[in-house]
Amino acid sequence: MDTTEKFVYVGRKPCGCAVGIVTDLGDDSTANAVAEFIRDGLTVNRVDWSVYRRIAMEETFMECPHGQLRLSLGELDEG
């Protein structure tokens, strides 16, 4: 498989875990996926295939153990 000039968008949570990926196909589906990452509060970077392969080896790749902050209904009412 030729991976030259291939890019991937990687979405990371504030804790640093990579939890979203999409291959840059330069189409609407790529744009929609990146927009969803941003709506979900992820930091998005565009990386080449060789960098992506290193990211895919990260211990927490696509399985963030940190959870998400959640507020109880009582905490929301106090705000």
Secondary structure class of 22 (helix, strand, coil): strand
One digit per residue, the tens of pLDDT, for the chain of length 79 reads 555 579 999 999 999 999 999 999 999 999 999 999 999 999 999 999 999 999 999 999 999 988 754 444 443 344 4
Residue 19 burial class via C-beta count within 10 angstroms: exposed 0-12, middle 13-18, buried 19 and up: middle
Q: What is the DSSP letter of 6?
A: -
Domain ranges of the chain: 7-78
pLDDT at 39: 95
Q: What is the DSSP letter of 43?
A: E
The answer to whether the predicted template modeling score (pTM) of the entire model surpasses 0.95 is no
Give CA–CA dist 62/3, Å, rounded.
Answer: 22
pLDDT at 67: 73
